[in-house]
């Protein structure tokens, strides 16, 4: 049975471009009685403020005893599929620094993407580099992720999201070997809905099997055509299917819908969904 109260206690939104100051975003969340706030570091101001030691110290003091769980979404653009040694060292340092700074202010989790591999036209078809050198890339990705895993602070969850290179067959084989108390998963429900048939079933089954490692869930809707990040109800996703097993675990639920007005509308619609499901409250 879905535990509504457990969900409500861990429900929140993501903020991307709505504010130019982290504290303003937190105030907005508090004013709207939001329990979880995920800040997307693709907002250049958020990223700069997190880098600033004085700002981090002030933010840590401000967050003390505030009834909110603060999370971060790492900047996108970096790809783990660059074979150069210096590139891998840069990725490791980038995530090591980010985790240290997020942990310093008491953040709950960081969600990150692996990025994608390069593809090349090969007479009417596309070929990815890892398909030519499978063992090289398998060892490369595993070594880098293992090195990053060793740097995760004890009070932080580092969560790998199901997007891009996450879906490559050799990566799906590696992930279970890496999952641990602090190296976890972000389940993006909208991303799964982009798939059909065996592809969708494979990803559904993966997250169901490893659901105890899910520490963050991204919620948004789409019609399957593309990653629309719609308000819930503006697509065809059966959210109850996921919440039937997600409420068994301890995870955050984040409406990854922008701008902030759309995220608030998601909250309103979700409350109605809970009522319609006639579940335990």
* pLDDT tens column, 45-70: 999 999 999 999 999 999 999 999 99
What is the average pLDDT across 114-135? 94
Residue 226: pLDDT band by 50, 70, 90 thresholds? confident
Q: How far, in Å, CA of 111 to CA of 216, rounded? A: 8
What is the chain written as a DSSP string? --BHHHHHTTEEEEESSS-SSHHHHHHHHHHTT-SEEEEETTSHHHHHHHH-HHHHHHHHHHHTT-S-EEEEEPPS---TT---HHHHHHHHHHHHHHHHHHHHTT--EEEE------EEE-SSSEEEHHHHSHHHHHHHHHHHHHHHHTT--TT-EEEEESSGGGGSHHHHHHHHHH--SSEEEEEEHHHHTT--HHHHHHHHHHHHHTGGGEEEEEE-B--SSS---BPTTSS---HHHHHHHHTTS--EEEE--SSHHHHHHHHHHHHHHHHHTT-B-
Residues whose CB falls within 8 Å of the CB of residue 144, separated by 6 or more in sequence, listed in order: 80, 88, 91, 92
Residue 183 pLDDT > 70? yes
Residue 16 pLDDT > 80? yes
Mutual angle of helices 44-51 and 53-63, in 10-degree steps: 90
Residue 2: pLDDT band by 50, 70, 90 thresholds? confident
Predicted confidence at residue 281, as pLDDT, reads 45
Whether residue 256 contacts residue 218, with contact meaning beta carbons closer than 8 Å, is answered with yes
Q: How far, in Å, CA of 87 to CA of 252, rounded? A: 32
Spell out the domain ranges in the chain.
Answer: 4-276
What is the average pLDDT across 177-188? 98
Residues whose CB falls within 8 Å of the CB of residue 157, separated by 6 or more in sequence, listed in order: 108, 109, 110, 182, 184, 215, 216
Residue 230 pLDDT > 50? yes
Q: How far, in Å, CA of 247 to CA of 4, rounded? A: 8
Predicted confidence at residue 225, as pLDDT, reads 87
Predicted confidence at residue 277, as pLDDT, reads 81
Measured on CA atoms in the order 121, 127, 128, 132, is the torsion positive or negative?
Answer: negative
What is the average pLDDT across 104-125? 95
Q: How far, in Å, CA of 105 to CA of 60, rounded? A: 5
Q: How far, in Å, CA of 228 to CA of 257, rounded? A: 9
What is the average pLDDT value for the chain, to the nearest integer? 95
Written out in words, the top-level CATH class of the domain with range 4-276 is alpha beta
Residue 274 pLDDT > 90? no
Q: Give first-to-last CA distance, the chain, whole Å.
A: 10
Instruction: Give the length of the chain.
Output: 281
Residues whose CB falls within 8 Å of the CB of residue 141, separated by 6 or more in sequence, listed in order: 80, 81, 114, 165, 170, 171, 174
Residue 279: pLDDT band by 50, 70, 90 thresholds? low
Predicted confidence at residue 278, as pLDDT, reads 60
């Amino acid at each position: 049975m879905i535990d509504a109260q457990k969900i409500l206690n861990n429900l929140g939104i993501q903020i991307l471009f709505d504010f130019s100051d982290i504290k303003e975003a937190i105030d907005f969340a508090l004013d709207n009685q939001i329990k979880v706030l995920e800040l997307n570091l693709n907002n250049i101001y958020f990223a700069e403020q997190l880098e600033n030691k004085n700002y981090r110290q002030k933010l840590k003091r401000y967050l003390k005893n505030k009834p909110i769980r603060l999370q971060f979404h790492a900047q996108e653009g970096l790809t783990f599929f660059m074979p150069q040694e210096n590139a891998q060292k840069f990725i490791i340092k980038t995530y090591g620094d980010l985790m240290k700074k997020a942990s310093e202010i008491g953040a709950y989790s960081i969600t990150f993407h692996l990025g994608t591999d390069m593809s090349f036209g090969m007479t009417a078809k596309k070929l990815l580099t890892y398909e030519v050198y499978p063992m090289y890339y398998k060892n490369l990705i595993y070594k880098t992720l293992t090195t990053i895993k060793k740097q995760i602070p004890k009070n932080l969850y580092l969560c790998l999201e199901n997007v891009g290179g996450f879906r490559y067959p050799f990566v799906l084989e590696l992930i279970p070997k890496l999952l641990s108390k602090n190296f976890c998963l972000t389940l993006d429900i909208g991303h799964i809905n982009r798939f059909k048939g065996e592809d969708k079933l494979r990803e559904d089954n993966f997250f169901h099997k490893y659901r105890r490692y899910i520490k963050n869930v991204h919620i948004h809707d789409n019609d399957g055509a593309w990653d629309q990040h719609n308000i819930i109800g503006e697509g065809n996703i059966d959210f109850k299917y996921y919440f039937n097993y997600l409420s068994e675990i301890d995870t955050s639920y984040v409406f990854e819908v922008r701008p902030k007005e759309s995220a608030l509308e998601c909250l309103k619609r979700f409350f109605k969904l809970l009522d319609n499901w006639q579940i335990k409250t």
